[in-house]
Structure 1
Amino acid sequence: MTHYLYAMPGSLYSGKARAYLRKQRIDFEERAPSHPRFDEARKSIGRWIIPVLETPDGRFIQDGSDIIAYGEAAGLARLPAYAGGPVQRLVGLIFELFGGEGMVRPAMHYRWNFDAENIPFLSQDFTGPMVLGGDAAARAESFAASSGRMRQAARIFGVNADSAPLIEASYAQFLKLFEAHLETQPYLLGGAPSLGDYGLFAPLHAHLARDPHPATLMKTTAWRVWRWVERMYAPNQDAGEYGEVAQALVEGDAVPDTVKALLSYVAEDYLPEVEAFMAFFNAAAGAPEVEAGAVIGGRPGQRVIGFTEFDWRGVKLTVGVFPYRVWLLQKVQDAFDAMAPADQARAAALMAETGLSRMVELKPVRRVERADNREVWGS
């Protein structure tokens, strides 16, 4: 029974869903958003957005996190993304949030600030799936429109001339830490991919391992990270350089020290933004006249509900506030709150050790839910 994935090769969020489907060996065919059937998906979801998975029974599921949840619930996963003990699952959720949202800044910087190397590739990569058989003028017009939108979006994520050198230093720090971890483990938590791997894969593949400039940077400074990107796209283990490795997570719900170092990096690099967007969201979320179930922002296409400012590595950044990020943060907090007391104590100790305690303390005053592929107000 075939699934259809509406996606694009260069799309950050498409890669997360595609890697999951490949790793689980789920039967699917990929379609470009220019496919006539995608118009039905767009109407169903209420906005133009990818990835979208069409199930064999004709349902449309938008968002990589929801696509993974569908695969797990339907029993389609041969290597479950939610595997491991409660602390390991919490770590996976943290890296799902950080990978897909916290690493958008370097992804956008390295895509749109190195035109001499990137544009010849991007101009084809963006228009190939969108302008089927189009002539050069049609492709140029399409790319001018889409690249203009994406350059504007980069500023929403805090990419500007002042932050650029700091983004590069921060990304170099991440590559060094992830490279060190991958010296002994083929995946984030052992011999099999977990949810955190799929979260990190989103930016590390589409932007940072495919676009020419950052791809060269990764290959020449973090070869093991580059191999991990290849491995995450392979339907088999693809970890021959590690010898015989069982396709399982680290035993005993343990978290390797090298992953703790990455968590400490998340606390330094992303927690200030989490604190800022949660303060903004909580100030905006108290309006009692907004009914539960209403689309946040009033319409499905409005993903940003405002802007907030915070200190990041010595500069002031202004970034958009996305309710979707609050939803992902809630997943971390819900997992922590649902733990048995002994497991929660171990998780709390890990969060304290890595500087991430605030991540489970910054609760929204009103929940964000996902309904009909949209972010809506909860109770």
Structure 2
Amino acid sequence: MTDKPYILYGMMASLYTAKVRAYMRFHGVNFVERAAGLPEFTQNIVPKVQRWIIPTVVTPEDHIIQDGTVILDYLNQEEPNKGSIHPDTPVLQSIAHLFELFGGEGLLRPAMHYRWNFDEANLDFLKLAFRDVLPPNLSTEEQEGFFLHASGRMRKATIQFGVKDENQKDVEDSYDEFLTYIEAHLTNHPFLLGGRPTIADYGLFGPLFAHLGRDPKPLSIMQKKAPHLFQWVERMNAPAGNENHLYISSKGDLFSDDAIPDTLIKLMAYVAEEYLPEITSHVGFANDWLEKNTHIESGTSGLDNPSKRSIGYASFDWRGKTNSSAVMLYRFYLLQRLTDYFGDLSAEGQRPVCDIFSKSNLTSILTLKTQRRIIRKECLEVWK
């Protein structure tokens, strides 16, 4: 057993880095974090993962692991004494996978909107935050140039995720509803599924800390409208042994399958209204795209640039209007974690899952699949 720490390359303002850092801190994993702007990352790590992307972890054995979900799976297996983040019942594990998907992908609209559309409140803070990914020893003018380039890309991504000039009020109304539902739930429960954090919490934590619980504009909204959610953010980000952990029940018990709180059902129903039409549209778009591109070789994305993440744009009904967003292969990778788990259950195991998901109008997501599977090959999402 080595005493070498894990090395986490990331950024404090990165939502995908956030859940890895939180897991490592909360579970007492020996790690150090290094800025992704350092030459060691761009020169040694980026060529091996084939694109500039965070988070990336180097293990004590010098293995490189990229992607927050993959990293958490690895740590959960390699550090079993830290406690599992996977529930052990079909209902809870299915719910956990649902929020793993929704947290990482379904909250991108408010996360990006509240970061990039409120420059008066956020801009000075963001310029400082983005220094984590800038090369060292730059002049003030060079720092400004790099930030303008990086922020320009992110502002374009905000539109790609479905935030348009004409629907910004809808994004804000939608997020306000989310705050109402999750605040009601966390008022009586320390974590999403009970007495300890699971992959559901870590999925939600990324956007709710790095963007919505840290940038000045959305931070003030969360603290005012959802103080219990803000305390959950602090709890999730606390180091092992911190007094914040006293919020955890003495046994770390999760809910039983037959005692799912109504507040959680309502939160799931919000996911059905907010995100199910979008992911369903994306799957339909991908299946049509695959039928037109039958020549795609296994182990490739079918795109000219292998590091590109989107295959096009899909339209969907959202809050009484038509919206569109980029269809990203990574979303199907996360969706498969839910559908694979559900599909592997016996008929007896599936029955209570269907019962809970039907209460929140989410039954269809349990079998929602693309015609070809997405796998990860050399840190890229590709078709099998």
- TM value normalised by structure 2: 0.94
- 1:267 has 2:272 as partner: yes
- For residue 297 of structure 1, report the CA deviation from its aligned partner: 2.3
Q: Are residues 1:8 and 2:8 paired?
A: no
Which runs of 5 or more residues in structure 2 are unaligned?
Answer: none
2:351 to 325, 330, 345: 345
CA distance in 1, matches of 2:51, 2:249: 46
Aligned in 2, Cα 1:296/1:330: closer, same or farther, shift over 3 Å? farther
SS at match of 1:163: helix
Aligned equivalents of 2:84, 2:95: Cα separation in 1: 15
Tell me what 2:189 maps to.
185
**2:209 matched to which residue of 1?**
205
Q: Percent identity?
A: 40
Deviation at 1:76, TM superposition (A): 4.4
Q: Provide the C-alpha distance between the structure 1 equivalents of 2:329 and 2:99, rounded to a whole number of angstroms.
A: 18
| 1:279 lines up with 2:287 in the alignment | no
Give the direction of change, closer, same or farther, for the CA distance of 1:372–1:253 in structure 2 (3 Å limit): farther
For residue 216 of structure 1, what is the amino acid of its counterpart? S
Q: Report the CA distance between 1:280 and its aligned residue.
A: 0.5
Equivalent position of 1:29 in the other structure:
32
Instruction: Give the match's secondary structure for 2:53.
Output: coil
- Corresponding letter in the other structure for 1:17: V
Counterpart of 1:57 in structure 2: which amino acid?
E
* Distance in 2 (alpha carbons) for counterparts of 1:350 and 1:128: 43
Residues 253 and 3 of structure 1, relative CA distance in 2, 3 Å threshold: farther
- Could you say if the C-alpha distance between residues 313 and 250 of structure 1 is closer, same or farther in structure 2, counting changes exceeding 3 Å? same
Q: Where in structure 1 do 4 or more consecutive aligned residues deviate above 6 Å?
A: none
- 1:331 partnered with 2:337: yes
Map of 2:163 onto structure 1: 159
- Which of 227, 230, 235 is matched with 1:231 structurally? 235
| Aligned-partner SS, 2:54 | coil
Correspondence list, 1:237-256, <5 A: 238-239=243-244, 242=247, 245-252=250-257, 254-256=259-261
1:61 aligns with 2:65: yes
Shift of residue 238 of structure 1? 4.8
Residue 377 of structure 2 aligns with which residue? 371
Count residues in correspondence: 378
Shift in Å, 1:289: 2.1
Amino acid in the other structure paired with 2:311 = I
8 Å Cα contact 2:313/2:326 also seen in 1: yes
Alignment partner for residue 143 of structure 1, among 123, 144, 147? 147
- In the aligned structure 1, how far is the partner of 2:90 from the partner of 2:363? 16
Equivalent-residue separation in structure 1 for 2:76 and 2:246 (angstroms): 29
Correspondence for 1:100: 104
**Does the 8 Å CA contact 2:11/2:132 hold for their aligned counterparts?**
no
* Paired amino acid for 1:12: L
1:291 shift after superposition? 2.0
* Structure-1 separation of matches of 2:247 and 2:77: 31
The CA deviation string for residues 131-164 of structure 1, in whole angstroms up to 9 with x for no partner, is 4343321211111111111001100001112111
Give the Cα separation in 2 of the matches to 1:194 and 1:296: 34
Q: What is the letter of the counterpart of residue 103 of structure 1?
A: L
Which of 182-191 and 354-363 deviates more?
354-363
Q: Does 1:217 align with 2:191?
A: no
| Partner-residue secondary structure (3-state), 1:208 | coil
Call closer, same or farther: CA 1:310–1:333 in 2, change over 3 Å: same
The 8 Å contact of residues 296 and 323 in structure 1, kept in 2 or not, is answered as no
Deviations 1:341-371 (A, max 9, x none): 2220000111111100111232211111112
Partner-residue secondary structure (3-state), 2:166: coil
**Structure 2 SS opposite 1:295:** coil
In the superposition, the TM-score normalised over structure 1's length comes to: 0.96
Aligned AA (1:350): I
CA distance, structure 2, for counterparts of residue 231 and residue 274 of structure 1: 30
- Tell me the secondary structure at the aligned position of residue 308 of structure 1: strand
Which shifted more, 69-78 or 53-62?
Answer: 69-78
Compared CA separation, residues 373 and 352, structure 1 to 2 (3 A): same
Unaligned stretches of 5+ in structure 1?
Answer: none
**1:80 alignment partner in structure 2:** 84
Return closer, same or farther for 1:13/1:101 CA change in 2, 3 Å cut-off: same
